[in-house]
Amino acid sequence: MTESAEQIRYRNLLLRIAYDGTDFYGWQIQPERATIQGTLAEVLEQICGEKVPVCGSGRTDAGVHAGGQAANIKTSSPIPCPNLVKAMNRLLPESIRILSAQAVREDFHARYHAQSKLYRYRIFRGEICPPWLSRYVLPYPYPLDEAAMERAAKYFEGTYDFRSFAAADRDEDNEEQATASDTAVQVEKQSSIRTVFSSVLSRQGVELVYNIEGNGFLHHMVRNIVGTLIDIGRGRTKVEAVPEILGARQRSAAGPTAPARGLHLVSVCYPDDIGVAE
- C-alpha 257/C-alpha 218 separation (Å) is 13
Among the listed residues 61, 171, 173, 231, the single catalytic one is 61
Nearest approach in angstroms of CB 92 to a second copy is 10
- Residue 81 CB partners (closer than 8 Å, separation 6+): 13, 100, 101, 102, 103, 278
Which residues in 32-71 contact a second copy (CB under 8 A)?
A: 65, 67
Phi and psi at residue 26, to the nearest 5°: 85, -175
DSSP 8-state symbol, 152? H
231 catalytic, yes or no?
A: no
- C-alpha 93/C-alpha 225 separation (Å) is 32
Q: Is 200 in the site for a second copy (CB under 8 A)?
A: no
Grouping H, G, I as helix, E, B as strand and the rest as coil, residue 85 is: helix
Instruction: Pick the binder of a second copy from 10, 11, 18, 103 (CB under 8 A).
Output: 18
The distance from CA 205 to its chain's CA centroid, rounded to whole angstroms, is 25
Site string for a second copy, 90-129 (x = CB under 8 A): ----xxxxxx----------------------------xx
- C-alpha 76/C-alpha 112 separation (Å) is 22
Nearer to a second copy, 79 or 248 (CB): 79
Q: Is 88 in the site for a second copy (CB under 8 A)?
A: no
Q: Is 138 in the site for a second copy (CB under 8 A)?
A: no
Kindly list the residues in this chain that would bind a second copy in the complex (CB under 8 A): 18-20, 65, 67, 89, 94-99, 128-132, 134-136, 139
Catalytic residue numbers read 61
